[in-house]
Amino acid sequence: MSTDGGAGRRRRVSIRDYITDGSLAALCAELASLTGSEITLRDERGELIESAGAGRLVAAGAAREGEVEVPLLVEGARIGSIVMRGGPADDEAYVHTRSILSLLGRAASELCADVSELRGRVKELGVLERLSSLLVGGGDPEDVLRESFESALDVLGLDAGSLVLLPEDADGIARSNDESELEVKASRGLSEGWLSSGAPLSRERVFDRQALDGEVVVSEDLLADPRVVEPGRCVEENLRSFIGAGLVVRGRPIGVMRLYSRTVRAFSEADRRLLRSIGQQGAAAVEQARLVEARARERRVKRQLQLAGAVQARMLPTKLPTLSGLDIAARCEPSSDLGGDFFDVFELGGRVVVLIGDVVGKGIAAALLMSAVRATLRAYLERVDDLSRVMSMANEALCRDSLPNEFATVWLGLINPETGELTYCSAGHDPPFVVRDVATGSPRLEELPGDGLVLGVLGGEVYPARTVRLREGDVVFAYTDGVTDAASFDRKRFGRARLHAGVLELLGRDAGASASRVLDQTMWHVRAFSGLAERADDETAVVVRVGAGFGAGTPVPVSE
C-alpha cells in the first residue's frame, strides 16, 4: 500500500494500483457486447474506468434496481467493483452472465491480492536487506536500531513512535504502572512529556506484554479502546491508532517498538508481518551488541582469573625442604583457575612445618580467603612455638575479619627430625594417616584424628595438640576432601577407604616407594576412578616419607 508524498498518511487502495493497462475494463466491454448488458469497471470511489484509460465519475452508492455489483476486495478492503445493468433477472443468459462476472470478480480480487502480497514482500525484503547489511557490516547496533525504527515508520506510513529497551537483566515487563525502567533508544513525533511520563499506555501494560509474547498488538482507535488507561493523554498528544511489536531473541525479551497514527487506521496482515520482521532485526542487533560486550567482559575476567591463578600458584612452595631422613612431595590440582586448597612445607628452626587446608567455596572469594589463612598461619608460626596457640590465634583473626559462612579446615603438623616426633593440630580437617611397618611387607595404617572446630566459625575455640613418634620407613599422608570426594560418572565417591587401600597396596608391593611415587600413584588412582568426569573440587595432598637417619640427632641439610 502506498503513501501520499511525505505526509505520512495512507490513501485508499484502488484497482488502479494493480491493473493499469485497461485490460480488465476492456474485458468488461467485450462481455457487454456479447451479452447486450451494460457491464462496467469502477474504482473504489465509483469512478468509471474505461478501456482507453480515461475515466468519468459515476455516482457511488448502493446498486440501483436491476443493477448487479461484484465487489473487488484485497485484504477485506474494497478496491473497486464490476457493475452490470440490464436484462431480466430470470433470463437464462443474464443469469449465466452474472455467474461469469462473479467468477471474474473473484479472479481479479485474487490477482490483486497476489500483487499486494508480492509488493509487500518486496518492500519487506528491501527493508530487511538494508538492516541485514548494517548488521553483517558490523555497524553500530544503535544505528541498526534507529534504522529499524525509522524504516518501520516510513514503510507503514505512520506519524509517530518510540523504540524502548528493557534493562539487560530483565526477564519481562514489570507489573507496575511505572515505565521508568525502560530506555528510549529512538523516537519521532512524540513530545518530551510523553516520552518521560513513565505512565503506561495500556492497563497493566498489556500492550507491551502481548508484544513480548510474540504478538503484533493493534489498536485501531485508542480513544475507544477499553485497554487504554488515559485516552485523554492520547488526545493531547494527537495519537489515534497504535501498532506495536516486541524485540525478542530466542524467547528473551529485549524491548518494544511502539508506532502511532494521528488518524484512525486499520492495519493489514502485511503491516503486522512487516513490523514483526523489522522488530526481529532490531532485536538481533541488540543481542549481537550484548554478546560482543559479554564476550569482551568474559575475556577480561578470564584473563584476570588466569593472572590471579598464576599469583596463587606462586604462593605455593615450589622448593620443598631437603633434610636428611625426610623425603617430601606435595601437589595441588585446582578444579578451576582459582582454588581454595593450599599447602605449605618449610623448615623452621631445624624442624619441618607441614600445613594443608581447604577454605569454603571456590573462585575469587575462596582464593582470597585461602591467601589470608595461609599468610596468617605462617606469620604466627614464625613467632610462636605452641601449635595449639597458633591455631587459636588464627581462628580469632579469621572470626574477626570474615563472615560466618567463610571458614577453613586446616591440619598443621610440626616434624622434629632430631627427636622423631610429629606434633599436630586439626581444625575440622580430614584426618591424615601414617603407614607403618612398611618394610615387613604387611603395612598397617593409623589415622591422626583431631578435635578442633573449623577456623573462622566460633571465637575462643581450643585446638589441642597431639604428638606421635615416627620411625624409619613410615609414610605420612595428608590430603584435602577433594581427593576423597572425587566422583565417578555414576556419582560414586572415591572415599577414604579407597584412598587407604590404594596407599597400602602400593607400599605392600613396593616398600621402598618414594614420597613422589606414592603421591603420583594415588593421584593417578583418583583420576582413573573419576574418568572423564569434571573435577568438582581442588585435590591437594602432602606425603612425607621417613628415611634412614631420622630421629638420630641434629638434622643435616642435604646438599643439592
Give the integer Cα–Cα distance in Å for 355 and 25: 101
Q: What percent of the chain has pLDDT over 70?
A: 81
Question: Confidence class of residue 484 from pLDDT cuts 50, 70 and 90?
Answer: very high
Is the pLDDT confidence value at 556 over 50?
no
* 363 confidence band (pLDDT: 50, 70, 90): low
Say if residue 306's pLDDT is above 80. no
Cβ neighbours, 10 Å, residue 393: 18
**How many C-beta atoms lie closer than 10 Å to residue 101's C-beta?**
21
pLDDT in tens, 113-131: 878 777 766 676 666 666 6
Would you state the torsion angle of the CA atoms of residues 436, 438, 439, 442, taken in this order, to the nearest 10 degrees?
Answer: 100
pLDDT score of 14: 85
560 has a pLDDT exceeding 70? no
Average pLDDT over residues 123-143: 62
Domains of the chain: 15-126 (3.30.1370), 138-292 (3.30.450.40), 316-546 (3.60.40.10)
Output the CA–CA distances (angstroms, integers) from residue 232 to 68, 132, 222, 223, 517, in the order listed: 46, 39, 10, 8, 85
Top-confidence residue, 504 or 298: 504
**Three-state DSSP class for 389?**
helix
pLDDT tens-digit profile of 5-25? Answer: 333 444 578 888 888 777 888
Structure-model confidence comparison of residues 129 and 240, the more confident one: 240
d(CA 382, CA 384): 6
Residue 333: name the closest of 353, 302, 309 by CA: 309
User: Cβ distance 428 to 452 under 8 Å?
Assistant: yes
Residue 558 has pLDDT above 60, yes or no: no
> Which of the residue ranges 79-93, 294-308, 428-442 would you say has the lowest mean pLDDT?
294-308
DSSP letter for 172, please: S
Burial zone of 45 (CB within 10 Å; 0-12 exposed, 13-18 middle, 19+ buried): exposed
Helix (H) or strand (E) holding 327: strand 326-333
Between 496 and 252, the more confident residue is: 496
Instruction: Determine the pLDDT at residue 236.
Output: 94
DSSP string covering 28-60: HHHHHHHHSSEEEEEETTSEEE-TTS-EEE---
Average pLDDT in the 193-202 region? Answer: 90
- Mean pLDDT over the full length of the chain: 82
| Burial zone of 48 (CB within 10 Å; 0-12 exposed, 13-18 middle, 19+ buried) | middle
pLDDT band at 57 (very low <50, low <70, confident <90, very high): very low
Query: pLDDT: is 362 or 238 the higher one?
Result: 238
What angle is formed at CA 349 by the lines to CA 347 and CA 350, rounded to 5 degrees?
Answer: 70
